[in-house]
Amino acid sequence: MRGNHVVAEAAIRAGCRFYFGYPITPQNETPEYMAAALSKLKDGVFIQAESELAAINMVIGGSMAGVRVMTSSSSPGISLKQEGISYLAALELPAVIVNMCRGGPGLGNIAPAQSDYFQATRGGGHGDYRNIVLAPSSCQELAELTMEAFDLADIYRIPVIILADGMLGQMMEPVEFPDHKNPKKLSPKDWALTGAKGRPGRVIRSLILDPVLEEEHNWKLMRKYERIQKKEVRYETFLLGDAKMAVVAFGTAARIAKGAVQKVREQGLKVGLLRPISLWPFPEKVLVELGKRVKLFFVFEMNMGQMVEDVRIALGRDGDIHFYGRPGGVVPTPLEISRIISSHYLRKRL
Amino acid sequence: MKKVFSRPRSLRKVPFHYCPGCGHSIIHRLVAEVIDEMGLREITIGVPPAGCAVLAYFYFDFDMGESPHGRGTALATGLKRALPDRLVFTYQGDGDIAAIGTAETIHTANRGENITALFINNACYGMTGGQMAPTTLLGQNTTTSPGGREGLRDGYPIRLSEMLALTDGSAYIERTAVNSPVNIRKTKKAIAKGFKVQMDGLGFSLIEIVSPCPTNWRMSSHEACQWIEKEIIQYYPLGVIKDVTKRGQGC
Ligand SMILES: Cc1ncc(C[n+]2csc(CCOP(=O)(O)OP(=O)(O)O)c2C)c(N)n1
Ligand code: SF4
């Protein structure tokens, strides 16, 4: 199944019946799948909005009404959604937003890239806030993480971003959809706008004119973010047990890096891979632990160096951290990456 | 003693913060009265704008969800699609609906989205301090059209309601004013009609309400009401612009 279709099918299996979006390559197969599939469901709603701005605001409306709702886009469209994502964060509304990232800045191109890491993990719009950001690296994971994204969004009342790229969106792989069970933790949406039947009117708003109260709201969000940082860190390790050098990469870059690690292992180099799956919350503690026994780090990203900043924050000044990036939609081969890994490794005489 | 005038159930016991003579207070009351009279309070969801009426949710006692500036009709679309049997309305200023939110408004109307937009035309940006709005009249002084609005420099006052009437999805569009008791009564009827059209599932309805902003017009309330009569209504004629419930009327 194609990655973009996997996202759509997974969303429907997770109980999402509302999709609002605007076409942009390389993710068009998601809205196309949604249009066909949701029209067959009696409670399904698909709208091709007039813009990403409109789409994200339809998402806000749907979310206010208490339903599971999703939008998807790619980099330039995600930029347009940022105002709405800031509102989702402020209003504490659950929503799932998929970014099949492409080369940028500007119109850039339609090739796979990871250049929206900062935008996704730092909030992206105005104000002090975070989104949960999940980075799949296969179609199977696109399915699992998309389904999980809806649960996380509901549990924490937060926008969840699936940050993938054009490669994952276009790639075809066999997928087994897990059975979706609603987690027990889900409490009823007693905050949703449904009409004030037998109760006073309910208000969902983000305007808080009194700075002291706005500060309080910010701290409330912060405490939620701290809970998420404690509980929702996700990552994969590969051959790190005896490793003297660790490669850190996410998403498509991690797939390439895995191939590269296997190649250098064949040459007898003790190299492993850490793949952050949740980009926010970032697996900082895992890196700190790893830094106690591994002295050489190599970060590879399909951008000019974004996640590497989080690695530097985690490891501090002592970390011997090297970076290699290919921005602009260029996808290097495992061979290219393996050569750079082994040259660092050998130079260090590990 | 017989009670002949009281606070509508749909209004909270909170004094309005609007300036003296502002049309928002009158319109809020009309909306609350209509919702009460139609028995819709328990199924109503309102969407206030960014604008002077952003605090509308402190006054209305039914469910309200805040919208980013201009995106009210898109947000209401999401709400209404999720809850098709509720009454969903937006409350938007002229800057909100006819400048930053024009695209959303036109496409919501064009989709025949079954919501009602209340479009408060006060010929300026009230909240941000009286800047030029898309509805500011030619020659009208505002803080960003000093010396008066000039068409070829600043653009012409836009007739959004007439534009929306051209979309096949719009069902009912009327322009009213709240500058006199007669016009206030007509406005109430128009709001009721808009809500009825929505509850009957006929498509997009919009009531444009010409409303005084004495503060930014730098007039007394009385002068503001007269200025609406003499100037605004000349450019923005009142009346039904489109009504699909009456064949042959409108455009
Ligand atoms: C994206 C964005 N841009 C600008 C603003 C600032 N802003 C708030 S209300 C407003 C215009 C208000 O005018 P109008 O819509 O005519 O409503 P009124 O206050 O006159 O009732 C503006 C520009 C904002 N809140 N958001
Ligand atoms: S500034 Fe104008 S629109 Fe705003 S409250 Fe005052 S009179 Fe009303």
pLDDT at B93 over 60: yes
Question: pTM for the full model?
Answer: 0.97
pLDDT digits (tens, 9 = 90+) for A31-62: 999 999 999 999 999 999 999 999 999 999 99
| Residue A206 in domain | no
Q: Is residue A291 part of a domain?
A: yes
**Mean pLDDT of chain A, nearest integer:** 97
- Assess if residue A133 is contained within a domain: yes
Asked if residue A30 is part of any domain, the answer here is yes
Whether complex ipTM tops 0.85:
yes
Measured CA to CA, the distance from residue A229 to residue B228 in angstroms comes to 57
From chain A, pick out residues whose CB is under 8 angstroms from the CB of B60: 201
CA-to-CA distance for A146 and A96, rounded, in angstroms?
8
Q: Which of A47, A317, A276 is nearest to A163 (CA)?
A: A276
Q: What is the pLDDT of residue B155?
A: 98
For A108-145, how does the pLDDT look when each residue is reduced to its tens digit (9 = 90+)?
999 999 999 999 999 999 999 999 999 999 999 999 99
pLDDT higher than threshold 60 for residue A165: yes
Average pLDDT, chain B: 96
Identify whether B10 is part of a domain.
no
The CATH number of whichever domain residue A262 belongs to comes to: 3.40.50.920
CATH number of the domain that residue B200 is part of: 3.40.50.970
pLDDT, tens digit, 9 for 90 and up, residues B154-165: 999 999 999 999
In a domain, A97, yes or no: yes
| Interface check A171 vs B, CB under 8 A | no
- Closest to A189 (Cα-Cα) out of A8, A100, A65: A65
Q: Into how many domains does chain B fold?
A: 1
Q: How far is CA A260 from CA A141, A335, A344, B23, B65, in A?
A: 20, 6, 13, 69, 51
Tokens of B1: 């003693």
Q: State if residue B52 touches ligand 2 by the CB under 6 angstroms criterion.
A: yes
- The pLDDT of residue A320: 95
Give the structural domain span for A226: 3-196+218-231
**Residue A7 domain-assigned?**
yes
B76 is in which domain, residue-wise?
24-243
A268-306 pLDDT, tens per residue?
Answer: 999 999 999 999 999 999 999 999 999 999 999 999 999
Residue of B115, B135, B113 whose CA lies nearest to B126: B135
Q: What single-letter amino acid sits at B34?
A: V
Average pLDDT over residues B166-172: 98
Is residue B250 one of the residues assigned to a domain?
no
User: Do A180 and A278 share a domain, yes or no?
Assistant: no
Q: What is the pLDDT of residue A284?
A: 97
- Count chain A–chain B contacts defined by CB atoms under 8 A: 136
Nearest to A82 by CA among A11, A164, A161: A161
Query: Are A255 and A168 members of one domain?
Result: no
Q: What is the pLDDT of residue B248?
A: 55
State the amino acid at position B119 in one-letter form.
F
Distance in angstroms (rounded) separating the CA atoms of residues B144 and A247 = 56
d(CA A349, CA A304): 27
Q: For the segment B212-226, what is each residue's pLDDT rounded down to a tens digit?
A: 999 999 999 999 999
Cβ distance of B82 and A83 shorter than 8 Å:
no
What per-residue confidence (pLDDT) applies to B56? 96
User: Distance between CA atoms of A125 and A101, rounded to whole angstroms?
Assistant: 17
* pLDDT confidence tier of residue A185, bands split at 50, 70 and 90: confident
Q: How far apart are CA B46 and CA B42, in angstroms?
A: 12
Work out the pLDDT band at B16, boundaries 50, 70, 90.
very high
Over range A174-193, report the average pLDDT. Answer: 89
State the Cα angle at A38 between A114 and A95, rounded to 5°.
Answer: 45
Among candidate residues A231, A253, A283, the one where a domain is terminated: A231
Instruction: Give B111's contacts in chain A (Cβ within 8 Å).
Output: 47
